[in-house]
Amino acid sequence: MLQCSGTERGCLARELAQQLGGRLAGDADCRVTGLAPLASATSTDLAFLIDPQRHPEALEQSAAGVVLVPEGADLEPEAGRALIFLQDVYRGYAGASRLFGAGRRARAAGIHPAAVVDDAARVASDAHVGPGAIIGRGSRVGAGAVVEAHCVLGAGVVVGAGSFLHPRVTLLDGVQVGERCILHSGCVIGADGFGFAPGATGDWEKIEQLGAVVIGSDVEIGANTTIDRGALVDTRVGNGVKIDNLVHVAHNVEIGDHTAIAGCVGIAGSARIGAHCAIGGGAGILGHLAIADHVTIHAMTLVTRSIERAGQYASGVPHQEARLWNRMLARLRRMAR
């Protein structure tokens, strides 16, 4: 965790440079108290510039006191300003954001009187349980974990040390969450997968979902995302996975370590996603497919067969005027005939 001398009073440029592993130029004692975009930053703000060649005027027009810039850029700081040169400016900004936002998820230890905790549950002494939260029989909440208001933990749930559950997170029976995870409001982990056996008369018979969901450490799951429990074996999410809002992960899916999944993605049952993959918004992945490590799937792509090699994959038709699209569609139909 980044640290400065008295973050509530701001952070000196030289402290920031040291913490971020950057090279400092300019006013080492310039103090900043927050982050802001270059265009609106003041002398007490930290800002960043990723591409000086593309936006050469941005730095000159900004009043930011400290600016993160790419190593090798031909830039000189103005009087009263500091520049911190970094190999990866965006990762530097990420680190600075964690520094200045360090208190956002700090909560006092203790169980609120309006929480309901089963006698057979175990809650660490330094954990926080908010009002209206329900913790079921045999569940465990680890050291320093936070369970915010109106969360529901079913029976036998495990929440690892340092994890943070925003209000109204639901973890159903048997779900395991690793350490230092962040689960945002409204996500539901461990609901039944979509399992039904068709009958001869056209009816559907429910297949009980007997597995659970196992989530690794350092995972973040967005608001209103759902991850279904396995039918027989567990649905699994690896370490360091980042999942956006409104994603659906069906039963028995496996997601490899450090994969990132953008909003509105749908992953059908028993699909296996490799490690270090990136899946763009609105993509769909059919069931029982395997996707190799280091695969990037562009937004709105429909994956209908397994991907065995690393690389970038895309499908879909970009938008265009309706009249032009209708003419193209008519030609396609004529070609088919």
Look at residue 1 and tell me whether its pLDDT is greater than 70.
no
251 flagged as catalytic: yes
Domains observed in the chain: 7-100 (3.40.1390.10), 110-313 (2.160.10.10)
User: CA–CA separation, 73 vs 75, rounded Å?
Assistant: 6
List Cβ neighbours of 315 (8 Å cut-off, separation of 6 or more).
298, 300, 301, 302
Quote the pLDDT of residue 8. 55
d(CA 177, CA 189): 10
Residue 178, CA distances (Å) to 213, 239, 289 in order: 11, 8, 26
Q: Tokens 């509530």 correspond to what residue?
A: 8
List the single range of 5-9, 99-103, 177-181, 236-240 with lowest mean pLDDT: 5-9
Angle between helix axes 89-100 and 13-20 (nearest 10 degrees) is: 120
- What pLDDT digit, counting tens, does each position of 87-98 carry? 999 999 999 999
Catalytic one of 128, 166, 184, 251: 251
pLDDT 10s digits, 46-65? 999 999 988 888 999 999 99
Q: Within 13 Å, how many C-alpha atoms sit on residue 178's CB side?
A: 15
Under a CB-based contact definition with an 8 Å cutoff, are residues 20 and 92 in contact? yes
| Average pLDDT value over all residues in the chain | 95
pTM over 0.75: yes
**Per-residue model confidence as pLDDT tens digits over 107-152:** 999 999 999 999 999 999 999 999 999 999 999 999 999 999 999 9
- Kindly give, in sequence order, each residue whose CB lies less than 8 Å from that of residue 221, ignoring residues fewer than 6 positions away: 181, 182, 183, 184, 187, 189, 215, 227, 243
Residue reference for tokens 């080492």:
28
H/E stretch holding 92 reads helix 89-100
Q: In the predicted model, what is the mean pLDDT of residues 225-245?
A: 98
Q: What is the mean pLDDT of residues 220-228?
A: 98
